[in-house]
Structure 1
Amino acid sequence: MKLRTALRDYKETLGSETKFPGERRSTTGMFSGIDSRLVHVDRDGSLRDFSYPLTGLAGIESLSFGLRTAGEITWFDELDTEAQSYAEGTAVVETELTDGSVMIRQRDLTLDRAHVTNVEIDGAEDAELCVSVTFAPEATSTRVGQLTHPDALQVHHRREHDYLAASTEFETLLGQVPEEIEEVLDEDGPVEFPRAVDDGRYEQNKLGGTAFAAIPFENGSVTVVSLLTEIAETPQNDALDEVTSLATRYDSSETVLEAGRAQMPDWSSGLDDERIPTDDLRVLSLLSTHTGGRIAGPDFDPTYTYSGGYGYTWFRDDAEISRFLLEADMRTDLDLSAWHEASTQFYAETQRPDGTWPHRVWPCDGSLAPGWAHGRIEAGKEREGVDADDGPQDGSDYQADQTGSVVSFLATYLRVGSPTDPAQVEEIITDAIDGLDDTLDDDGLPQTAQNAWENMTGQFAHTAATFLHAYAAVARAPVDDELAAHAAEQADAVYDAIDELWMPERGAYAIRLQDGELDERLDSSALALAGAHHDYAAIGEIDDQRLDRLASHLSTTIEGLYRDSEESDVRGLFRFEGDEWRMRKQADEKIWTVSTAWGANSATKLARLLEEYDREEASELAECAEDLMEAIRPDGPLCLESTYLPEQFFDDGTPDCATPLGWPHALRLATETELTAMSGKDPRQATLADD
């Protein structure tokens, strides 16, 4: 996000009770296509690239469409949006707009590194489509130049070159002088484009990423294509041929839709509501790249103004997503084997020398990304002969649960999947167990580290759950006998140590131990204890006291974190007691979709476990899971019309933060398939991954 764009939004949203000025939101609109590039289509038809983490190419900073008739331009954001949806269940975004007399239908599809927009109009004669676009190659707005070819626009920095072409000849194609510093700081409001600026500097409109184009319709239709390239891979002439060819090939609404149909896999699953696998897998495809890595969500705050950024791969939620997809695949005919293998290879390539995984990486190449939890790297934990006590870092700014989550997936995949190279997977697991062992205290609890929410340190119930799950999963896997036995012993040690986190007065496990004292708050991430014990039950005996505590913990935590908003119909779980993040003027903690989905999934897991022990609480937890699922299912209060689950909601119903967030989508799919199997509706329930 560039300074001019950030300040433009700042001017437009300053004073809002639910918007953070200067962000680039995706809480409205939809993303098109499921290929590598990630392009957002807002409800007014405007476009913006969120592609950089997935492709290394930044592309469109902003693009707006307008209609010019009789010399006057009406921009689409001045029109009424009648509807926006995925056409025919594909990833083609169809947006319908009107001003009462003119009807406009816009269809958008991303195809690899190209984005195609077809616009059809009805009710306007001799109209032209206007385009105001700003490219930001290599995520910069400085030292950018543009070339105006007869049939295309080319905007370039050094490595990245971006192109724009149309299915009919440009009537107008010219560069635009960006806002001057005084204009950016002016309180009167953002500068409107197109504009004519003439101060005697004839080169100005060639030294920036902003341009204006006017394109005539042909039989009421016109197509605009943008293409992102690396000059070393795609020379200029090849890129020009490609972008103009694409504009010709997809010169109608129907050809765009045909391409969208061909792009979508068959994600039939046998569930009662087939929207869930289609919606969830489409979202996870949007957030994925060719390496197998995923971003957590579209990066709405790349300048870290209000957050630490979202356009990276975190191994916690990425590996959890991988495991949930594996579970869902085992219960259905989705055939996600290529996804599992891609994730496995990504984890193999990003594992650190000490067997652990870092805070976060760039998904497009697996390289180390900016972060605040690279404590093991800073403390020299990976380097022989370096004593952490000799320096300022002790390694506690490390998120040990991330390594635990990766191990749980890999061990489960080795047990129930079909890895291309099982020996490689076992080798990764063996090294990772060394990393887990190194971060496990003698008392059986993971050492002091950062939590799942990345905002505090301590010995967390959630981190203990991921360690228990990881060790149990390895003990169950077809690995070397000595490794399996060691993992079982470690699982027993963690199982016993979890008692240190019990709060008798509250009937739940605490969020953490800090300096030997219990932090007696409820935490939705501690719900992960249910799934961990479900796996542990396959290798060890769970005693009655632990079953009592788990049942009490789930009920107490879900009840304590559940809120039904009085201002709107949103309802669900918030993260943890006392969570003040991104509250603005709201008095209470915000509702999170991942916490709500986690509650549903954990209640389902524990219901199955308690059923095996003939416990009466099982049916009650199954009902709780169904109730929480209703909040996140399609048409539920936490699911947007776009089909997306945003990370958070304000009490007034306004979605906030990363949208869509991949983690709750994977949780929803896995939980839905498990609930279906538990109900006896799914004939494939015998193939459950966690039986």
Structure 2
Amino acid sequence: MKLRDALDDFKRHEGHDNRFPGERRTTSGRFSGYTPADGEGRLVHIDRDGDLRDFGSPLTGRHGLDAARIGVRTDDGLRWFDECETVAQSYRDGTTLVVTEHRLPDGETVIQYDLTLGRAHVTHVERGGSEDGDGDDRDGDDGNDANEGELVAFLGFAPDGRDTGVSQLHHADAVELYHDAEHDYVASATGFEAARGCVSADFDRLLDAAPVEYPLTDEGGRNEESSLSGDLRCELPFEDGAATLATLLTDATETDRAAALDRLDAVLDEYDDPDALARAAAERAPEIPDGLPERDAVAADLRALGLLSAPTGLRIAGPEFDPYYAHSGGYGYTWFRDDAEISRFLLHADRRFDLGLDDWHARSVENYCETQLPDGTWPHRVWPRNRRLAPGWANSHLAVGDDADYGEYQADQTASVAAFLADALADLDGALAESATETLADALDGLDRTLGDDGLPVACQNAWEDATGRFVHTAATFLEAYAAVAATDTDLADRAAERADRVYDALDDLWAADGGVYGYRLVTESETGLGEGDRRFEAGDLDTRCDSGSLALASAHLAYARVGEVGDRRVERLVSHVRTVTERLHRDPAESDVRGLVRYEGDDWRARSQDDEKIWTVSTAWGAFAAGNVAVLLDDRGDPRADGFAATARDLLGLVLPEGPLCPDGALLPEQVFDDGTPDSATPLGWPHALRTTTLALLDERDALSDDAVAVPEK
């Protein structure tokens, strides 16, 4: 999304109850994109109305399509799909082939197939058909001649991230759009009846109160600008009721023009029908063993996490929907907290479900070894495509000399990486095992450096990146990291066990007996408000609000139980804490079918016109995971309360399963949901997808799902 599009969206949605103006939303539609079988790729969003847009620049450095509208011209005129009814949209057989059914005003059904193949993306359109999930069935009795008309496409490219200074080259059967290094191509299996550049909106149009409708047809005497533009309008003839459009993103320093055009021709020759696209998609889909509990959910999670992955193996948190950071701090980066938690969840699920993810785990280990800083910690965030430092606000510990400041640092990120490396170590050998062990040793130094004399992590930023203090979530990640290292067969184990004991004991300082919970944090600087009216917090106060991040205590104690003793008093506190947090953070708004857990008490971020906190999928899935961990911990003690916590886990898990109210259309999990059911923010968000699969594995290991399958809870 470039500034013209952001301003246009601002005009359309300024003052909207639950839409933030100036964003490029992915809360509806589906993605097709990178798979490990390609080794490279794109991340292409196909909205429910058939519009296309590339989101892969953080993953690959290539920007591609910034906007695309597709329609059909018939005797009745041009009908853009975004002006027609969308009958259905789905993934074909669990792959990344996206099938969208449109209904034209005259009743004709048009089916759009979209598949990303490496750096290429294919859009195949068939008229007069119907998609039944087993293939296409063209219906020639609808009163339309499927051999007439054209497929019309408006394509707005942004090579090198530019929407100005772009030029076009029109070849015999393709169009090339370029700025500097990035050269993008578009071609059709049936050729072009017409293909011409379009001018962009000038200042007068941009400043006008009315939104701009693309493509612009009035050049206003700016003829030369149509060839100095990333915007292209093309018309493709239908043959036998079908037309295929393909785009290809290249880097001119790697691929010359002739090779790019040959590649585009090969794609169009090979993938010019739905069956060929379906076969290609099936070849690239991960193999999910039969018989898994909620197999479709596991397949959807691996698909979503694959889509968010760069060829390096690092993942973005979610698609970058707010490119001007008007309402967020950005999502198209790798956070080591999110990425390492996902890696650990996948590792545990793979061990239970035999998902064949060895390559994924190995790449994660390599990434963390490669990106560790000299002090044993990890930076705030990096670019997944090259592992280089990305813009961030929590990198003060990178400062050289006396200016290094661990207060503007997120210590839980280092702890999350250390916990994964320790868990993964048993499956590694050779040079990779040696490298991981060395990295772990340095990570322990980094953790020790930020562990206070009292056994709690020093003041730093929290997991939600909106406060500073000494957080129970950070302490939980330290406990889990130290316990995981203590469980390894390395020389680090004894040292880590001693640190785990210290953190375990220090958690007593965060216990709020009156509330029956562990407090959100120890306040380190005097503050006012923070979601509790005008209350003033003084330094040293215990902030007792409930925080879903504190649910990390459950898995941390289960990890600690393998190397130390979890006493009866601690078990009782943990039982009380998880039960209380899941109850107090639970919201069941009357105006919709959604329900789930909010992030923390008093959270007003991205609330828009809503008065109360919004429901978060990661918090809801975390609640399920935490309850499942408590159930296992109680099982180990023969405590009959285990069944109750397993029931809570199943209840919360059901909310984020494909049939659940927090998973719109059963496809992708958004970060947040408004009370009326409208999804918001990054979609898909990788963290809850990984939490969903690891919780399924945890409950399956407890044999909970074998006799009592997960069901969508009644509202």
Q: Give yes or no for the alignment of 1:657 onto 2:681.
A: yes
The correspondence for 1:267, drawn from 288, 291, 295, is 288
Q: 8 Å contact 2:200–2:216 — kept in the other structure?
A: no
Q: Give yes or no for the alignment of 1:2 onto 2:11.
A: no
The correspondence for 2:63, drawn from 49, 53, 58, is 58
Q: Which residue of 2 aligns with 1:19?
A: 19
Q: 8 Å contact 2:547–2:581 — kept in the other structure?
A: yes
| Counterpart Cα distance in 2 of 1:295 and 1:636 | 25
Structure-2 change in CA distance of 1:181 and 1:329 (3 Å) = same
How far 1:671 sits from its partner (Å)?
0.4
> Residue deviations 1:150-177, cap 9 Å, x none?
1111111111111101101110011111
1:265-664 superposed matches below 5 A: 265-268=286-289, 270-378=291-399, 380=400, 386-388=401-403, 394-416=405-427, 421-480=432-491, 483-515=492-524, 516-664=540-688
Tell me the TM-score normalized by structure 1.
0.95
Letter in 1 for 2:22: G
> Residue deviations 1:526-558, cap 9 Å, x none?
000110010111111111111111010001111
Q: 8 Å contact 1:120–1:253 — kept in the other structure?
A: no
| Counterpart Cα distance in 2 of 1:314 and 1:188 | 39
Letter in 2 for 1:55: T
Q: 8 Å contact 2:672–2:681 — kept in the other structure?
A: yes
The correspondence for 1:141, drawn from 163, 168, 179, is 163
> Residue deviations 1:312-335, cap 9 Å, x none?
000001100000000001111211
Structure-2 change in CA distance of 1:419 and 1:223 (3 Å) = farther
Q: Which residue of 1 aligns with 2:202?
A: 180
How far 1:33 sits from its partner (Å)?
3.8
Structure-2 change in CA distance of 1:437 and 1:254 (3 Å) = same
Query: Unaligned stretches of 5+ in structure 1?
Result: 381-385, 684-691
Look up the SS of the partner of 1:203 in the other structure: helix
How far 1:682 sits from its partner (Å)?
6.9
Q: Which residue of 1 aligns with 2:239?
A: 218
Letter in 2 for 1:161: H
How far 1:189 sits from its partner (Å)?
2.4
Q: 8 Å contact 2:316–2:335 — kept in the other structure?
A: yes
How far 1:73 sits from its partner (Å)?
1.3
The correspondence for 2:116, drawn from 110, 119, 126, is 110
| Counterpart Cα distance in 2 of 1:82 and 1:5 | 27
Structure-2 change in CA distance of 1:118 and 1:634 (3 Å) = same
Q: Give yes or no for the alignment of 1:671 onto 2:684.
A: no
Letter in 2 for 1:489: E
How far 1:414 sits from its partner (Å)?
0.6
Q: Give yes or no for the alignment of 1:204 onto 2:225.
A: yes
Q: After the TM superposition, which of the residue ranges 611-620 and 656-665 deviates more from structure 2?
A: 611-620
Q: 8 Å contact 2:699–2:705 — kept in the other structure?
A: no
How far 1:419 sits from its partner (Å)?
7.4
How far 1:639 sits from its partner (Å)?
1.0
Look up the SS of the partner of 1:134 in the other structure: strand
Q: Which residue of 2 aligns with 1:38?
A: 43
Look up the SS of the partner of 2:116 in the other structure: strand
How far 1:126 sits from its partner (Å)?
1.8
Work out the number of aligned pairs and report it: 670
Q: 8 Å contact 1:183–1:191 — kept in the other structure?
A: no
Q: Which residue of 1 aligns with 2:531?
A: none
Look up the SS of the partner of 1:58 in the other structure: coil
Q: After the TM superposition, which of the residue ranges 116-125 and 441-450 deviates more from structure 2?
A: 116-125
Tell me the TM-score normalized by structure 2.
0.92
Q: 8 Å contact 1:194–1:212 — kept in the other structure?
A: no
Look up the SS of the partner of 1:365 in the other structure: coil
How far 1:270 sits from its partner (Å)?
3.0
Structure-2 change in CA distance of 1:642 and 1:29 (3 Å) = farther
Structure-2 change in CA distance of 1:377 and 1:665 (3 Å) = same
Q: Which residue of 1 aligns with 2:267?
A: 246
Look up the SS of the partner of 1:302 in the other structure: coil
| Counterpart Cα distance in 2 of 1:257 and 1:540 | 52
Q: 8 Å contact 2:286–2:302 — kept in the other structure?
A: no
> Residue deviations 1:194-252, cap 9 Å, x none?
514141x4421111210110110111111101111110000111111111221222112
Letter in 2 for 1:464: A
Identity of aligned residues (%): 51
Q: Which residue of 2 aligns with 1:689?
A: none
Q: Which residue of 2 aligns with 1:687?
A: none
Look up the SS of the partner of 1:168 in the other structure: coil
Q: 8 Å contact 2:657–2:666 — kept in the other structure?
A: no
Q: 8 Å contact 2:84–2:103 — kept in the other structure?
A: yes
| Counterpart Cα distance in 2 of 1:2 and 1:34 | 23
How far 1:273 sits from its partner (Å)?
2.1
Query: Unaligned stretches of 5+ in structure 2?
Result: 36-40, 129-143, 525-539, 708-715
How far 1:642 sits from its partner (Å)?
4.7
Q: Which residue of 2 aligns with 1:82?
A: 87
Q: Which residue of 2 aligns with 1:73?
A: 78
Look up the SS of the partner of 1:565 in the other structure: coil
Letter in 2 for 1:12: R
Letter in 1 for 2:283: A
Letter in 2 for 1:135: F
| Counterpart Cα distance in 1 of 2:279 and 2:216 | 34
How far 1:676 sits from its partner (Å)?
1.4
> Residue deviations 1:408-441, cap 9 Å, x none?
0000001356676211110110111111111111
> Residue deviations 1:644-676, cap 9 Å, x none?
110000000000000011100100000011111
Structure-2 change in CA distance of 1:105 and 1:313 (3 Å) = same
| Counterpart Cα distance in 2 of 1:670 and 1:394 | 35
Q: 8 Å contact 2:189–2:243 — kept in the other structure?
A: yes
> Residue deviations 1:556-587, cap 9 Å, x none?
11111001111101111000011010000101
Letter in 1 for 2:247: S
Q: Which residue of 2 aligns with 1:257?
A: 278
> Residue deviations 1:40-81, cap 9 Å, x none?
000111100001011110110001101112383111111111
Q: Which residue of 2 aligns with 1:686?
A: none
Q: 8 Å contact 1:30–1:41 — kept in the other structure?
A: yes
Structure-2 change in CA distance of 1:419 and 1:542 (3 Å) = farther
Q: After the TM superposition, which of the residue ranges 310-319 and 184-193 deviates more from structure 2?
A: 184-193
Q: What is the CA RMSD across the aligned residues, in angstroms?
A: 1.5
Q: Which residue of 2 aligns with 1:28?
A: 28
Q: 8 Å contact 1:46–1:65 — kept in the other structure?
A: yes
Q: 8 Å contact 1:55–1:289 — kept in the other structure?
A: yes
Look up the SS of the partner of 2:245 in the other structure: strand
Q: After the TM superposition, which of the residue ranges 638-647 and 62-71 deviates more from structure 2?
A: 62-71
| Counterpart Cα distance in 2 of 1:106 and 1:202 | 33
How far 1:142 sits from its partner (Å)?
2.0
Q: Which residue of 1 aligns with 2:181?
A: 159
Q: 8 Å contact 1:268–1:277 — kept in the other structure?
A: no
How far 1:681 sits from its partner (Å)?
6.3
| Counterpart Cα distance in 1 of 2:642 and 2:79 | 59
Structure-2 change in CA distance of 1:419 and 1:298 (3 Å) = farther
| Counterpart Cα distance in 2 of 1:261 and 1:613 | 45
Look up the SS of the partner of 2:664 in the other structure: coil
Letter in 2 for 1:488: A
| Counterpart Cα distance in 2 of 1:314 and 1:521 | 25
The correspondence for 2:103, drawn from 95, 98, 119, is 98
